[in-house]
Structures are given as structure tokens and as C-alpha cells.
Amino acid sequence: MVKKAHFIGIDLTSSPSKPTACVTLNEELHLVWFDFFCGDADIIEVIEHHHPRLVAIDAPLSLPRELCCLEKSCPCQPLSPVKGRLCERELSRRGISCYYTTKRSRIKNMVYRAISLKEEIAGRGYYVIEVYPYATKVQFFGRHVLRKTTPAGITFLRERIGSLMPYLGPYLPRFSHDLCDALLAAYTAYLYNEEKVENIGDMVEWVIVIPT
């Protein structure tokens, strides 16, 4: 019996004190498992349990080239005079807004946590990609995506995700916007496996994977 491939999506938070949404899909887009975790060790334990083909993390997984950190007190400077990573600038050029990874970043702690988690997961032999659920939403649902934290926005998300992945219909009423983002991260990993994605950015610096 051939074991089904699993794809894990992680909607990472900036601190282990804030629950992180995780979702696992199989290669037929059936929901395998979903939950919230706080500590990175718990996330790693889930990954080791499921042995996924791909792990998709919704958070920056690298720094701009030549930066060693995001501390203003450090003299390191990015290679490019333009702010952020190439992948972020390319998304903005396409009209997809995102946070830039700079020394003024509002999500500095998330970036540090994401890079550390990526290295731990990759060190255990799993393939890790960076995804951006908002870009996935724009690719599938258009530019008029409702704000996910509003009642209308979560209804919008559940309805459209249900049309993408009909098997998930019975579960979606229980999904918060964080779980929806983790689910879209896992779905993007599935599309990566199907070669239906585009790598945005520089393979040396890192890329964001978005659906074609």
C-alpha cells in the first residue's frame, strides 16, 4: 500500500504565546487534520507524525541579501538599496500588497521565528516553502478580497475555499480566518507538488510560492 502524500500549511504567529494554526491535506485534497499550537516543539512533533511531502509556512523565511539580522543597532546593510526582498517587491509590482522585510519591519519577531523553524524543519529532512495566503486569494478570488477579520470576510473565505476544495465543505463552518490561511498554505503546497505554481523572487535570497 502506497502512503498518501501530506501537505502541511502553517499560519505562523510572531510569538509562541499566540496559537499558530496548522492544517494538513492529502494528495486528494481531503482534510487530514487541523489544530492550533503554541510552541515550535509542538509544531515539529506534528510534522514528524505526518511526514509531509511539503511544509508551507506563511511568514518570511529569509532576510534580504547581506543582512545578518533586523536589528537597527547592527551595521549590516542589505545588498539592494530598495527596501525588502526581491520577492516582496515583485508582489507589490503586481499589485499584491505585503509586509517588507526590513530593519523597520513590524513583524520582526515573526521573521526570526519563521527562519528558525524553517531551519529546524529542513534539518529534519522535510522540504519547506514560503507561501503568502493573501496572494493565493488574489490569484483565485480576484483583487476584491474582503477583510478576513470581518464576518463578511470570513463568510467570503469559507464559500470560496469550499468551491476550490469541495471535500472540505463540512469542516469550513468551524474554520477561523487563521485556519483558512493555514488551509490555503497547505493548498499552495499541494499545487507546488502539481507544478501549478510560480516562484516569485530570487532563488539565492528566497522565493514566495504563488499559484499560477
Residues of the chain with pLDDT under 50: 1
| Predicted local confidence at residue 3, as pLDDT | 61
C-alpha cell at 134: 493573501
User: 166: alpha, beta or left, given left = phi > 0 and alpha = psi -120 to 50?
Assistant: alpha
- What confidence tens digit (pLDDT) does each residue in 58-85 have? 999 999 999 999 999 999 999 888 899 9
Residue ranges per domain, the chain? 6-211
The C-alpha atoms of residue 167 and residue 120 are separated, in whole angstroms, by 32
**Residue 143 dihedral angles phi and psi, to the nearest 5°:** -80, -15
pTM beyond 0.75: the answer is: yes
Q: Are strands 54-57 and 6-11 parallel, antiparallel or unpaired?
A: parallel
| Predicted local confidence at residue 143, as pLDDT | 83
| Predicted local confidence at residue 145, as pLDDT | 86
Q: Which CATH class is domain 6-211?
A: alpha beta
